[in-house]
Structure 1
Amino acid sequence: MALYLLVLGVCLLVIGSVLIILMTTSTPRYRTEPKDLLALFDKALESRVSETEWNAMIGYPIRHDEYLDGVRRRASQLMEEYGRRWQIAQGKPLLNTAGQQELQALRDHLAAHTALRQR
Protein backbone atom coordinates (compact mmCIF):
# COMPACT_ATOMS: atom_id res chain seq x y z
CA MET A 1 0.00 0.00 0.00
CA ALA A 2 2.86 2.38 0.82
CA LEU A 3 4.47 1.63 -2.55
CA TYR A 4 1.17 2.33 -4.31
CA LEU A 5 0.85 5.73 -2.61
CA LEU A 6 4.47 6.57 -3.42
CA VAL A 7 4.01 5.76 -7.14
CA LEU A 8 0.71 7.66 -7.22
CA GLY A 9 2.33 10.70 -5.58
CA VAL A 10 5.29 10.69 -8.00
CA CYS A 11 2.95 10.33 -11.00
CA LEU A 12 0.74 13.19 -9.80
CA LEU A 13 3.82 15.34 -9.19
CA VAL A 14 5.21 14.68 -12.68
CA ILE A 15 1.86 15.17 -14.44
CA GLY A 16 1.13 18.31 -12.41
CA SER A 17 4.58 19.73 -13.21
CA VAL A 18 4.13 19.10 -16.91
CA LEU A 19 0.69 20.74 -16.88
CA ILE A 20 2.01 23.81 -15.05
CA ILE A 21 4.91 24.16 -17.47
CA LEU A 22 2.61 23.83 -20.49
CA MET A 23 0.15 26.36 -19.11
CA THR A 24 2.77 29.00 -18.27
CA THR A 25 4.82 28.89 -21.48
CA SER A 26 3.67 30.92 -24.44
CA THR A 27 3.62 29.98 -28.09
CA PRO A 28 6.74 31.13 -29.91
CA ARG A 29 6.05 33.76 -32.53
CA TYR A 30 8.10 34.84 -35.50
CA ARG A 31 7.97 38.53 -36.27
CA THR A 32 9.24 39.69 -39.63
CA GLU A 33 11.31 42.83 -39.13
CA PRO A 34 12.59 45.29 -41.76
CA LYS A 35 16.09 43.84 -41.52
CA ASP A 36 14.70 40.43 -42.51
CA LEU A 37 13.04 41.84 -45.64
CA LEU A 38 16.15 43.86 -46.51
CA ALA A 39 18.31 40.74 -46.24
CA LEU A 40 15.87 38.80 -48.43
CA PHE A 41 15.79 41.56 -51.05
CA ASP A 42 19.61 41.74 -51.05
CA LYS A 43 19.84 37.99 -51.59
CA ALA A 44 17.25 38.18 -54.37
CA LEU A 45 19.16 40.97 -56.11
CA GLU A 46 22.38 38.95 -55.85
CA SER A 47 20.61 35.82 -57.19
CA ARG A 48 21.34 33.87 -53.99
CA VAL A 49 17.75 33.33 -52.81
CA SER A 50 15.82 30.12 -53.32
CA GLU A 51 12.19 30.06 -54.31
CA THR A 52 11.34 28.34 -51.02
CA GLU A 53 13.02 31.06 -48.96
CA TRP A 54 11.29 33.77 -51.00
CA ASN A 55 7.87 32.15 -50.63
CA ALA A 56 8.32 31.53 -46.91
CA MET A 57 9.01 35.19 -46.23
CA ILE A 58 6.78 36.86 -48.81
CA GLY A 59 3.86 34.44 -48.52
CA TYR A 60 3.38 34.98 -44.78
CA PRO A 61 1.29 38.05 -43.79
CA ILE A 62 2.87 40.61 -41.48
CA ARG A 63 0.14 41.56 -39.03
CA HIS A 64 2.09 43.68 -36.57
CA ASP A 65 3.17 46.38 -39.06
CA GLU A 66 0.93 47.62 -41.87
CA TYR A 67 3.79 49.31 -43.72
CA LEU A 68 5.88 46.13 -43.79
CA ASP A 69 2.88 44.16 -44.97
CA GLY A 70 2.47 46.64 -47.83
CA VAL A 71 6.12 46.11 -48.78
CA ARG A 72 5.58 42.35 -48.61
CA ARG A 73 2.48 42.59 -50.83
CA ARG A 74 4.37 44.74 -53.35
CA ALA A 75 7.20 42.19 -53.46
CA SER A 76 4.63 39.48 -54.06
CA GLN A 77 3.18 41.50 -56.95
CA LEU A 78 6.68 41.90 -58.39
CA MET A 79 7.09 38.13 -58.35
CA GLU A 80 3.77 37.66 -60.12
CA GLU A 81 4.59 40.25 -62.78
CA TYR A 82 8.31 39.69 -63.35
CA GLY A 83 9.11 36.36 -61.68
CA ARG A 84 11.10 33.67 -63.44
CA ARG A 85 10.73 30.72 -61.11
CA TRP A 86 11.87 28.18 -63.66
CA GLN A 87 15.32 29.76 -64.05
CA ILE A 88 16.32 29.80 -60.38
CA ALA A 89 17.66 26.25 -60.63
CA GLN A 90 20.01 27.42 -63.38
CA GLY A 91 21.47 30.11 -61.12
CA LYS A 92 19.70 32.94 -62.89
CA PRO A 93 17.95 35.83 -61.10
CA LEU A 94 14.56 35.40 -59.45
CA LEU A 95 13.19 38.40 -61.38
CA ASN A 96 13.85 39.73 -64.87
CA THR A 97 15.69 43.03 -65.39
CA ALA A 98 12.65 45.29 -64.94
CA GLY A 99 11.63 43.35 -61.83
CA GLN A 100 15.10 43.64 -60.35
CA GLN A 101 15.06 47.41 -60.89
CA GLU A 102 11.71 47.70 -59.14
CA LEU A 103 12.88 45.41 -56.33
CA GLN A 104 15.98 47.57 -55.91
CA ALA A 105 13.75 50.67 -55.66
CA LEU A 106 11.52 48.90 -53.14
CA ARG A 107 14.58 47.83 -51.13
CA ASP A 108 15.98 51.37 -51.14
CA HIS A 109 12.62 52.79 -50.06
CA LEU A 110 12.37 50.28 -47.20
CA ALA A 111 15.94 51.04 -46.11
CA ALA A 112 15.24 54.79 -46.09
CA HIS A 113 11.97 54.31 -44.20
CA THR A 114 13.70 52.11 -41.62
CA ALA A 115 16.50 54.65 -41.18
CA LEU A 116 13.94 57.42 -40.57
CA ARG A 117 12.09 55.30 -38.01
CA GLN A 118 15.27 54.60 -36.07
CA ARG A 119 16.10 58.27 -35.63
Structure 2
Amino acid sequence: MALYLLVLGVCVLVIGGVLAILLTSGTPRYRTEPEDLLNLFDKALESEINETEWNAIIGYPIRHNEYLDGVRRRAGRLMDQHGRHWQLAQGKSLLDKEGKAELQALRDHLAAHTALHRP
Protein backbone atom coordinates (compact mmCIF):
# COMPACT_ATOMS: atom_id res chain seq x y z
CA MET A 1 0.00 0.00 0.00
CA ALA A 2 2.86 2.38 0.80
CA LEU A 3 4.45 1.72 -2.60
CA TYR A 4 1.11 2.48 -4.29
CA LEU A 5 0.82 5.82 -2.45
CA LEU A 6 4.44 6.68 -3.28
CA VAL A 7 3.92 6.01 -7.01
CA LEU A 8 0.62 7.90 -6.96
CA GLY A 9 2.26 10.86 -5.22
CA VAL A 10 5.15 10.99 -7.68
CA CYS A 11 2.76 10.78 -10.65
CA VAL A 12 0.55 13.56 -9.25
CA LEU A 13 3.63 15.68 -8.60
CA VAL A 14 5.03 15.18 -12.12
CA ILE A 15 1.70 15.71 -13.88
CA GLY A 16 0.90 18.72 -11.69
CA GLY A 17 4.33 20.22 -12.41
CA VAL A 18 3.90 19.79 -16.15
CA LEU A 19 0.42 21.34 -16.02
CA ALA A 20 1.70 24.26 -13.95
CA ILE A 21 4.48 24.92 -16.45
CA LEU A 22 2.08 24.73 -19.39
CA LEU A 23 -0.41 27.06 -17.76
CA THR A 24 2.14 29.70 -16.78
CA SER A 25 4.10 29.76 -20.03
CA GLY A 26 2.79 32.10 -22.69
CA THR A 27 2.08 31.37 -26.31
CA PRO A 28 5.05 32.27 -28.50
CA ARG A 29 4.35 35.23 -30.75
CA TYR A 30 6.03 36.22 -33.99
CA ARG A 31 5.92 39.89 -34.94
CA THR A 32 6.94 40.73 -38.46
CA GLU A 33 8.93 43.96 -38.37
CA PRO A 34 9.91 46.17 -41.32
CA GLU A 35 13.47 44.79 -41.19
CA ASP A 36 12.11 41.27 -41.70
CA LEU A 37 10.29 42.33 -44.87
CA LEU A 38 13.29 44.31 -46.12
CA ASN A 39 15.57 41.28 -45.64
CA LEU A 40 13.03 39.07 -47.41
CA PHE A 41 12.76 41.48 -50.34
CA ASP A 42 16.57 41.74 -50.59
CA LYS A 43 16.87 37.96 -50.70
CA ALA A 44 14.15 37.74 -53.36
CA LEU A 45 15.83 40.41 -55.49
CA GLU A 46 19.18 38.59 -55.23
CA SER A 47 17.52 35.21 -55.98
CA GLU A 48 18.70 33.76 -52.67
CA ILE A 49 15.30 32.71 -51.34
CA ASN A 50 13.15 29.65 -51.66
CA GLU A 51 9.41 29.63 -52.05
CA THR A 52 8.83 28.20 -48.58
CA GLU A 53 10.64 31.08 -46.88
CA TRP A 54 8.73 33.58 -49.01
CA ASN A 55 5.37 32.01 -48.19
CA ALA A 56 6.17 31.71 -44.47
CA ILE A 57 6.48 35.48 -44.12
CA ILE A 58 4.17 36.75 -46.86
CA GLY A 59 1.41 34.28 -46.00
CA TYR A 60 1.27 35.31 -42.33
CA PRO A 61 -1.02 38.31 -41.60
CA ILE A 62 0.51 41.29 -39.80
CA ARG A 63 -2.10 42.41 -37.32
CA HIS A 64 -0.10 44.94 -35.30
CA ASN A 65 0.66 47.30 -38.21
CA GLU A 66 -1.79 48.01 -41.02
CA TYR A 67 0.85 49.60 -43.24
CA LEU A 68 3.12 46.54 -43.05
CA ASP A 69 0.16 44.29 -43.76
CA GLY A 70 -0.57 46.33 -46.89
CA VAL A 71 3.04 45.91 -48.02
CA ARG A 72 2.78 42.18 -47.31
CA ARG A 73 -0.43 41.89 -49.33
CA ARG A 74 1.11 43.85 -52.22
CA ALA A 75 4.12 41.52 -52.22
CA GLY A 76 1.74 38.56 -52.29
CA ARG A 77 -0.05 40.02 -55.31
CA LEU A 78 3.32 40.53 -57.01
CA MET A 79 4.05 36.84 -56.55
CA ASP A 80 0.64 35.93 -57.94
CA GLN A 81 1.10 38.14 -61.01
CA HIS A 82 4.83 37.75 -61.70
CA GLY A 83 5.93 34.65 -59.81
CA ARG A 84 7.85 31.95 -61.63
CA HIS A 85 7.62 28.98 -59.26
CA TRP A 86 8.73 26.44 -61.85
CA GLN A 87 12.06 28.21 -62.53
CA LEU A 88 13.06 28.54 -58.90
CA ALA A 89 14.11 24.89 -58.80
CA GLN A 90 16.50 25.60 -61.69
CA GLY A 91 18.27 28.31 -59.71
CA LYS A 92 16.57 31.19 -61.47
CA SER A 93 14.74 34.16 -60.01
CA LEU A 94 11.49 33.88 -58.08
CA LEU A 95 10.01 36.80 -60.07
CA ASP A 96 10.19 37.90 -63.69
CA LYS A 97 11.86 41.21 -64.68
CA GLU A 98 8.73 43.30 -64.25
CA GLY A 99 7.99 41.70 -60.89
CA LYS A 100 11.56 42.33 -59.71
CA ALA A 101 11.26 45.99 -60.72
CA GLU A 102 7.99 46.35 -58.81
CA LEU A 103 9.43 44.52 -55.79
CA GLN A 104 12.45 46.85 -55.84
CA ALA A 105 10.11 49.86 -55.87
CA LEU A 106 8.09 48.35 -53.00
CA ARG A 107 11.30 47.63 -51.07
CA ASP A 108 12.56 51.21 -51.59
CA HIS A 109 9.21 52.63 -50.48
CA LEU A 110 9.20 50.47 -47.34
CA ALA A 111 12.80 51.46 -46.55
CA ALA A 112 11.96 55.16 -46.93
CA HIS A 113 8.80 54.80 -44.82
CA THR A 114 10.71 52.93 -42.12
CA ALA A 115 13.52 55.52 -42.05
CA LEU A 116 10.96 58.32 -41.82
CA HIS A 117 9.12 56.78 -38.85
CA ARG A 118 12.16 55.69 -36.81
CA PRO A 119 12.96 57.93 -33.83
TM-score bucket (shorter structure): over 0.9
Deviation per CA, 1:40-60: give whole Å up to 9, x if none: 100000011111111111111
Partners of 1:6 and 1:96 lie apart in 2 by: 68
Q: Percent identity?
A: 76
How big is the shift at 1:105? 0.7
For residues 13 and 46 of structure 1, the distance between their equivalents in structure 2, rounded to whole angstroms, comes to 54
How many residue pairs get aligned? The number is: 119
What CA deviation, in whole Å up to 9, does each residue of 1:77-107 have, x standing for no partner? 1111111111111222111111111100100
CA-atom RMSD in angstroms: 1.2
Match of 2:73 in 1: 73
TM, length-normalised to structure 1: 0.92
> Where in structure 1 do 4 or more consecutive aligned residues deviate above 3 Å?
none
* Distance in 2 of aligned mates of 1:64 and 1:6: 50
- 1:115 deviates by 1.3
CA distance in 1, matches of 2:53, 2:32: 13
Secondary structure at 2:8's aligned position in 1?
Answer: helix
1:32 is aligned to: 32
Q: TM-score, normalised by structure 2?
A: 0.92
Shift of 1:2: 2.5
1:48-87 superposed matches below 5 A: 48-87=48-87
How far has the Cα of 1:6 moved from its partner? 2.0
Separation in 2, partners of 1:91, 1:3: 64
Gaps of 5+ in 1: none
Alpha-carbon separation, structure 2, partners of 1:116 and 1:48:
28
1:3, distance to aligned residue in structure 2 (A): 2.4
In structure 2, give the amino acid aligned to 1:11. Answer: C
